[in-house]
Amino acid sequence: MNTGKAVRRLSGLAVVGALALTATACGPDDSSAQSAPSSSATSASAPKGAATPSVPSSAATGSDGASGAGGAGTKAGQTLKMGQAAHVPFSYGTSTKGKIALTVTSIEQGNPSDLASLKLGDQAKGKVPYYIRYSVTNEGDSDLAYASVGHMKGHLGDGTEAQDLMIIGDFDKCKSDELPQGFTKGKVAQGCAVALAPSASTKVVSAEYWGEPFTLGQGITWK
């Protein structure tokens, strides 16, 4: 599989495991936009067999989560404003470790027709895509090239989880590629995650990062 292709997950739908496994076995020249449902909100498939991205267990013991490089670590369960950075230790696979500032910059409502090219059929009927756009800044001394930041979840106005979408291949509306080559201290990259509202009358109003050591519902939230 081309390591530059984004993978995002559609949670809460019935058909899961086999399609998700098939998605990870696509050939290196397969660049078509496809999608597959999944039962979990885990992150992008890893390059060269690396594990999914996570934050080490020592993370999130600091105070305010204010934006800007070098800020204090951000606490589990903390709520930030859009554009405010969470400062967290970061690890990817077994050897890539560092520190990042993660900032959700916006949650944009899409159009149901955006999903047509993904051929989801009845699984997408009535659903409205929202695009959670975020930035990642390398605040540590390690080169984080080719790592991926995942575990980004949308929430509806009543506090319940939105479905997120797993995409194999290119989706121009919401690209979430791995961090680029030479992603050293001070470098910034952009990412995106897709969350699905169940109907046009329901909105995705907040986003939660729940990578380790956080858990879903006790992560870092932007609204």
Q: For position 144, what pLDDT does the model report?
A: 94
Q: For position 64, what pLDDT does the model report?
A: 41
Q: For position 152, what pLDDT does the model report?
A: 92
Output the DSSP codes for the chain.
Answer: --TTS----B-S-S--HHHHHHHTT--TT----EE-B-SS---PPPGGGPPPPB--TT-S-SS---SSTTPPPPPTT-EE-TTPEEEEEEEETTTEEEEEEEEEEEEEE--GGGGGGGT-GGGGTT-EEEEEEEEEEE-SSS--TT-----EEEEETTSPBPEE--EES--TTS--PPPPTT--TT-EEEEEEEEEESSTT--EEEEEE--TT--TTSSEEE-
Confidence check: pLDDT of 140 > 70: yes
pLDDT band of residue 97 (cuts 50, 70, 90) is confident
Give the model confidence (pLDDT) of 145-196 as tens digits: 998 888 899 999 999 999 989 777 788 999 877 899 999 999 999 999 999 9
Give the model confidence (pLDDT) of 11-70 as tens digits: 433 322 222 212 222 333 443 344 444 333 333 333 443 443 443 333 333 334 343 333
